[in-house]
Structure 1
Amino acid sequence: MDIPSYFSDGIIWSLSVFSGIIMCKIVYDITEFASSLYSKAYNNLRKIQKIEWNNRAFSSFHAILVSAVSFHLLILSDLYKDDYSQKFIIERTSFLSKSILGISTGYFLSDLAMILWLFPALGGKEYIIHHGFSLLSMTLALVSGSAHFYIIMVLFSEVTTPFVNLRWYLDRADKKDYKIYLYNGAALFLGWLIARVLLFVYFFTHLYLHFDQAKTIFSLGFYNLLITPSLLAMMNVYWFWKITKGLIKNVSKTKHV
């Protein structure tokens, strides 16, 4: 799809980041309104828990949106296929890749602002580190037009976020003893294994095989491409260990019921 020349990259970034922020606000407000009318569990929560309930709603919405677009760009589209262009994969961009990175930047800015404002109620230091490095990576990718393929690959790992949030919702609704809690835990385990462990193995394998391309981008972008995914991978493995322990505990408890 050809984009008219008067749509500069700066306009695309600005509009997409702004759209991401507005998206969070709209979903937050709709969730607050609908939950207060139809959810008994929501109305029984304390104020800070209601804020987190609404926050997790736009977190899930963002995750579904970006994982769907990332899947399209990485698997369904021709953008990153070997014979699509003479350009290196690390240099390939599109209007959609720029837009989704901008929207996601808007989300991470909104979520980070809430985390800092209510710290540590919505998340501890690990969330600040995660969001901070994510914002750095997406900003560098947008400004430079480099490494969209790798940043979008990492962004796809957000596909696990709705399962994390659903577990929190079920906990607050006193449904930890229901089968849906166990099924969600199993889905979270499988999704995390695929999208946040095995996908990162593929990420680093692909990066190693295309290291000559990675070295062609500017220094800060190159070192960020090495450091940020490595930090996220270590955090993912740590969280996967905790998810696995929790699933084993819940399965064992179910067997003894």
Structure 2
Amino acid sequence: MSAITSPIDAVAQLLELKKLPDHSATFLLSAAACQAIFILAHRLSQYSQHYTCLSPIKKIDWRIHVVSSFHAALIVILAYPLLSNEALVKDKIGGYDAYAGEVYAVACGYFLWDSVVCLMNIKQFGVGFALHGVSCLGVFLLSFRPFLMYYGAAFLMFELSTPFLNIHWFCDKTGRTGSTLQKVNGAVLIVTFFVARIVFGFLNSYDFILTCLARIDEIPSHYVYFYGAANILLNALNVFWFSQMIKSIARRFSPAATEKNGRSSGKRDTAKRN
């Protein structure tokens, strides 16, 4: 048995993730970068009156949205070339590529950071976000067996909708609810979420199931159970969040909401002038 030199090596040895140690530096750097952006977001946001008037937990939520925006933009750019990676396309179950390992290490660093933050604030944010972070972390960690690296890139395309979701959130927190910016962004958000997470997500889940069934004898049973449960959970959360998103956007742009926002805006303008 080889010597264990770090927590990552311990996890790699325990879960038989033989490729994980090769990407441990990127994994740790990614998690550290997320925390650095989280801290920097707090310092820079102090100059915004919209941020300073928030409650402590909403300030944390604000900074989480900043970090997730950075991660989403970066990871989509990094992961896109993997959709046509020859080594992974050739072997969808056990294929490995060093560049893919680096991309998934970046994703693991983010999901580790996200899981810790959500678990630390689980009473405020709810179980759903914590389960999402932990499930994603587990799925991408186990890819370092290597296992199902081909599908990792497809599911990272879910992040296409994240920047637009965050813009929508920031519009609400900066007094732009019902604005033209939020309307246009809301339309783009609905389309990207539906295409990336529902259509593309379900198609890849179907392909994933067929691929695994065809080679089921090669896959450890506990991996089958974990990936099956994670797949169902993540798809269910996407469907739930999509339905909630539709309801939320419909409420914001209903005639009654628009009139209310107009009155509220007028009151704020009057207060500023006085």
Distance 1:254 1:160 in 2: 28
From 108, 112, 116, give the equivalent of 1:109: 112
Q: Are 2:90 and 1:99 equivalent residues in the alignment?
A: no
From 225, 248, 251, give the equivalent of 2:250: 248
Relative distance call for 1:119 and 1:201 in structure 2 (3 A) is closer
Relative distance call for 1:65 and 1:213 in structure 2 (3 A) is farther
Report what 1:175 is aligned to.
176
Report what 1:236 is aligned to.
238
TM-score by length of 2: 0.79
Q: Are 2:174 and 1:164 equivalent residues in the alignment?
A: no
- Give the aligned length: 241
Report what 2:60 is aligned to.
51
Q: Which AA in structure 1 matches 2:227?
A: L
* Ranges in structure 1 where 5+ consecutive residues have no aligned partner: 1-7
Relative distance call for 1:247 and 1:118 in structure 2 (3 A) is closer
Distance 1:148 1:245 in 2: 35
Say which SS state the counterpart of residue 90 (structure 1) adopts: coil
Alpha-carbon offset, residue 66 of structure 1? 1.5
Distance 1:140 1:19 in 2: 19
Report what 2:227 is aligned to.
225
* Ranges in structure 2 where 5+ consecutive residues have no aligned partner: 1-17, 260-274
Q: Are 2:26 and 1:16 equivalent residues in the alignment?
A: yes
Q: Which AA in structure 1 matches 2:204?
A: F
Alpha-carbon offset, residue 243 of structure 1? 1.4
Deviations 1:218-246 (A, max 9, x none): 22223323221121111111111111222
Relative distance call for 1:31 and 1:102 in structure 2 (3 A) is same
Distance 1:94 1:234 in 2: 30
Q: Which AA in structure 1 matches 2:23?
A: W
Relative distance call for 1:187 and 1:221 in structure 2 (3 A) is same
Alpha-carbon offset, residue 201 of structure 1? 2.1
Relative distance call for 1:255 and 1:42 in structure 2 (3 A) is closer
TM-score by length of 1: 0.84
Q: Which AA in structure 2 matches 1:180?
A: L
2:158·2:201 contact (CA, 8 Å) conserved in 1? Answer: no
Deviations 1:99-123 (A, max 9, x none): 12222112112122112222323x2
From 54, 73, 92, give the equivalent of 1:64: 73
Distance 2:216 2:30 in 1: 29
Aligned residues with identical type, % of pairs: 23
Structure number with greater Rg is 2
